[in-house]
């Protein structure tokens, strides 16, 4: 079996780790995600992962209680480090070799982000988990995924969500809504589709880095995308 992509950047939200729980990390969901990643790693695909922290702390929500936005965002970055460590440990238990690199320096806990070292790890078959977003407040982990994907030379950004692609309307509200198999960046902009946040979307468009939006809850979806099958929605130049 030959994969359609040799190097990918997987964007996981913190909420993906929650499963049916109200907050925190659901062990069964974590194990399921790792199994999906392993099925792709076993094909020889090089994998980078950017993970969010919304299941532990949602940075922007802190402003609702009067917290300074920058402070809230830094707290959110620390939450992503916690998620990255949990994901790395679950990978170890599954026989995968994961490395966590953080945009914030916490060297007693995880490695600092160094682009050259990250690329070397990928070439060695290790999975690199990028934590702490971009290391700057006011930038989301979507932007971190677009940035890290561009830096490591990923061929595609795979955004894992709860929905199996981009639809013409909200499928929960409109039973006639249909999924786009493919859509161009320009058309996505014209239709005002919320693929990634605007900064991340613009970066992917400018770098000609395609995006696939898919459901991480759909068994085998990640592998089908990597194999070039019709899964999720491909956003392309």
Report the binding-site residues for ATP. Answer: 11-14, 54, 58, 161, 167, 170
Distance CA 113, CA 134 (A): 10
Cβ atoms within 10 A of the Cβ of 155, count? 16
Lateral strand order in the sheet of 111-112: 111-112, 98-102, 127-131, 46-51, 7-12, 156-161, 211-215, 233-236, 182-184
Distance CA 132, CA 23 (A): 19
What are the binding residues for UMP? 53, 73, 134-141
Strands (E), 38-179: 46-51, 98-102, 111-112, 127-131, 156-161
The DSSP code for 59 is G
The DSSP code for 211 is E
Instruction: Give the CA distances from residue 74 to residues 92, 179, 180, in Å, rounded to whole numbers and listed in that order.
Output: 27, 36, 36
Parallel/antiparallel/unpaired status of strands 127-131 and 233-236:
unpaired
Distance CA 5, CA 228 (A): 8
Give the residue from 16, 13, 3 showing the smallest Cα distance to 218. 16
Distance CA 51, CA 171 (A): 26
What are the binding residues? 11-14, 53-54, 58, 73, 134-141, 161, 167, 170
């Amino acid at each position: 079996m030959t994969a359609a992509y040799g190097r990918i950047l997987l964007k996981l939200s913190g909420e993906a780790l929650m499963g049916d729980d109200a907050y925190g990390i659901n062990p069964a969901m974590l194990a399921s995600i790792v199994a999906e990643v392993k099925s792709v790693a076993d094909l020889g695909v090089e994998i980078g992962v950017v993970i969010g922290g919304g299941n532990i702390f949602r940075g922007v929500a802190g402003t609702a209680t009067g917290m300074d936005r920058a402070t809230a965002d830094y707290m959110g970055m620390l939450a992503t480090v916690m998620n990255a460590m949990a994901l790395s440990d679950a990978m170890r238990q599954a026989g995968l070799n994961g490395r966590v690199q953080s945009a914030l320096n916490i060297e007693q806990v995880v490695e600092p982000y160094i682009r050259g070292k990250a690329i070397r790890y990928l070439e060695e078959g290790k999975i690199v988990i990028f934590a702490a977003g971009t290391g700057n407040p006011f930038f989301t982990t979507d932007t971190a995924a677009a940035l890290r994907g561009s830096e490591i030379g990923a061929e595609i950004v795979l955004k894992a969500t709860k929905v199996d692609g981009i639809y013409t309307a909200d499928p929960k509200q409109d039973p006639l809504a249909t999924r786009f198999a493919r859509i161009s960046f320009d058309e996505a902009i014209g239709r005002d589709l919320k693929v990634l946040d605007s900064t991340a979307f613009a970066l992917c468009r400018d770098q000609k880095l395609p995006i696939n939006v898919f459901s991480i809850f759909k068994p085998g979806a990640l592998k089908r995308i990597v194999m070039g099958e019709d899964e999720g929605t491909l956003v392309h130049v």
